[in-house]
Structure 1
């Protein structure tokens, strides 16, 4: 039986769109919340809007551009190169982003009478981001419930999946081609397979190639 209502933290990328399809399958009513935090390209927000409209779910944009007043990173500054050095946080890390996004998503969820929050974070392919770890999500879930005297449940359908398995999940949900063609993951704002060069594109496309190889091997068997 489907649960009542869920809010998906939504960017229009591969992971959050997979989570959106997962939410539509598991909940009677689904809302999305997207954050404008001064991304390098506004295409991400427009992509999210179009996907929400096509799938018939509500779409809400919250202004979080105040993040730009506090930190400098490659996702909000086009004069900072996208880098990922071994042993260091990638330059694309936005300090406190998931903490803030989920906190505001909880406030929005409470306003529309919803206790279920869904986010596409993954500890398997988390690029070194500390706020994508399972321990953080569990801790924040407790904190939100204490802070707001509610019983929120944060769902993380992708937490233990690598990108190959995320593609497999999208296929299982009947959303493989939709996600392949209509999502935007690229740090340079190019939809679908993207620029092919940035870390986000490489992670996405390598996972896609592995999944396609896996499918072909299954067909041959």
Structure 2
């Protein structure tokens, strides 16, 4: 039996789109929320909008431009090139406070629209060392959200323990692997589908796909 209503934190990328399809199988009603935080590639927001429209899912876009002012990094500044970071250091694609703010505002939106479930595509396995992708952070924030609004929200993280090979496997299990491959944008250089093939996000995504297809015996 499907649960009630969920809000999916939605960027139009591989992970959040896989989460959207996962949520559509689990919940009676699903809405999406995308955050405009001044990211370099506005196509990310357009991808999210197109996918939501194609699926007939209500799509909210919230202005988070203050985050851009507070946390300049490689995802928001043309002048900063993507750097994976030295061993033990965070890559400069890390946006401090991003998941904290996104999930907090998703919780506020959920309260307004009567949703008790929040879905996000964070993962401890392929998280580039981002501290706000850890399960301990999500559990802590879940408690804080509930206390702050006197609600009983549940934050779902269907990808938490999956590597990229596993995420492709989940999308295949959901019957949407081709949609994820062709319609989403994960590339740091703003190129849809298989992307530029050179940035860290593309390398991770494409390596996971190669591993998954090899496992299935496909080329």
Q: State the TM-score, normalizing by the size of structure 2.
A: 0.98
Q: Following the alignment from structure 1 to structure 2, what is the Cα–Cα distance between the partners of residues 51 and 88? A: 34
Q: Secondary structure at the match of 1:24?
A: helix
For 1:80-134, what per-residue CA distance to the aligned partner results, in whole angstroms no more than 9, with x for missing partners? 1101122100000000000000000000010000010000000011011000000
Matched, 1:160 2:174: no
Q: How does 1:1-221 map to 2 (within 5 A)?
A: 1-85=1-85, 86-216=87-217
Q: Secondary structure at the match of 1:79?
A: coil
Q: Following the alignment from structure 1 to structure 2, what is the Cα–Cα distance between the partners of residues 191 and 71? A: 25
Q: Secondary structure at the match of 1:48?
A: helix
Aligned-residue offset at 1:69:
1.6
Which shifted more, 103-112 or 69-78?
Answer: 69-78
CA RMSD of superposed structures (Å): 1.0
Which shifted more, 142-151 or 77-86?
Answer: 77-86
Q: Following the alignment from structure 1 to structure 2, what is the Cα–Cα distance between the partners of residues 130 and 99? A: 10
Q: Following the alignment from structure 1 to structure 2, what is the Cα–Cα distance between the partners of residues 39 and 70? A: 13
Q: Following the alignment from structure 1 to structure 2, what is the Cα–Cα distance between the partners of residues 41 and 25? A: 30
For 1:1-51, what per-residue CA distance to the aligned partner results, in whole angstroms no more than 9, with x for missing partners? 000110000000000000000000011100000000000110000000000
Q: State the TM-score, normalizing by the size of structure 1.
A: 0.97
Which shifted more, 77-86 or 183-192?
Answer: 77-86
Q: Secondary structure at the match of 1:91?
A: coil
Q: Secondary structure at the match of 2:217?
A: helix
Q: Following the alignment from structure 2 to structure 1, what is the Cα–Cα distance between the partners of residues 61 and 98? A: 15
Gaps of 5+ in 1: none
How many matched pairs? 218
Q: Secondary structure at the match of 2:191?
A: coil
